[in-house]
């Protein structure tokens, strides 16, 4: 698959893809390659073994490993496979799951169709994580989700724990987020 991926990138770089729609077509071709070659069983296996991938390889935003990781995360979200998703995110956390799609935002806004309380996935992944760099990425995502709610925390671990507790207590008062708002959650004062 990586050889086919690299060939698609080479075609795009060398102009063998329509320049007006080069990026769009490349993304579509790459996604098709992953969809046609990775079964859900393959993705679950990757989620369970992802910690074997060196950190530097999944940090390249255009790298094959990163795009596979993003694809697997979005597929696990869509499938509602919470266990595999937590396992994967606890070892490798992609900040984005697409060119302009933030992972935490996708969990908060769109994953509620397939997962119950998807924001808690971040807390579960953080608590299972043993990789400091990944923990830092997850904590940054949690801080972004709860921005503006004055959740205390002397360090990332305390902040994440407090944010998850706050969410559990207040989730019935939270409303769908406004993509233009600085925080991911809105607060419904009328229900309080």
Please state, in angstroms and as integers, the Cα–Cα distance from residue 117 to each residue in 112, 152, 154, 158, 181, following that order. Answer: 7, 21, 25, 20, 20
Identify whether 156 is part of a domain. yes
**pLDDT of the residue at 80:** 94
The gap between the terminal CA atoms of the chain, to the nearest Å, is 52
Q: Is the pLDDT of residue 187 over 90?
A: no
Q: Is the pLDDT of residue 1 over 70?
A: yes
CA distance 128 to 42: 22
62-112 per-position pLDDT tens digit: 778 888 888 999 999 999 999 999 999 999 999 888 767 889 988 888 888
Share of the chain above pLDDT 90, in %: 39
Give the range of the structural domain holding residue 146, as residue numbers without chain letter.
Answer: 38-187
CA distance 129 to 90: 4
The domain total for the chain is 1
Identify whether 87 is part of a domain. yes
Identify whether 86 is part of a domain. yes
Identify whether 140 is part of a domain. yes
Residue 177 DSSP SS3: coil
CA dihedral 159, 162, 167, 173 (to 10 degrees): -100
Can you give the pTM of this predicted structure? Answer: 0.80
**pLDDT of the residue at 132:** 92
Identify whether 32 is part of a domain. no
């Amino acid at each position: 698959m990586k050889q086919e991926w690299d060939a698609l990138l080479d075609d795009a770089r060398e102009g063998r893809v329509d320049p007006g729609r080069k990026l769009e077509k490349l993304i579509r071709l790459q996604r098709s390659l992953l969809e046609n070659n990775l079964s859900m069983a393959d993705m679950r296996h990757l989620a369970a073994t992802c910690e074997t991938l060196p950190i530097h390889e999944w940090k390249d935003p255009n790298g094959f490993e990163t795009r596979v990781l993003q694809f697997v995360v979005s597929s696990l979200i869509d499938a509602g496979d919470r266990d595999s998703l937590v396992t994967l995110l606890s070892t490798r956390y992609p900040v984005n799951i697409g060119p302009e799609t933030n992972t935490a935002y996708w969990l908060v806004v769109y994953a509620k169709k397939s997962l119950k309380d998807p924001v808690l996935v971040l807390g579960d992944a953080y608590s299972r994580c043993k990789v400091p760099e990944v923990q830092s990425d997850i904590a940054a995502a949690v801080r972004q989700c709860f921005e503006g709610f004055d959740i205390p925390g002397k360090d990332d671990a305390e902040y994440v724990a407090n944010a998850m507790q706050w969410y559990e207590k207040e989730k019935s008062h939270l409303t769908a987020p406004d993509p233009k708002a600085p925080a991911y959650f809105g607060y419904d004062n009328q229900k309080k």
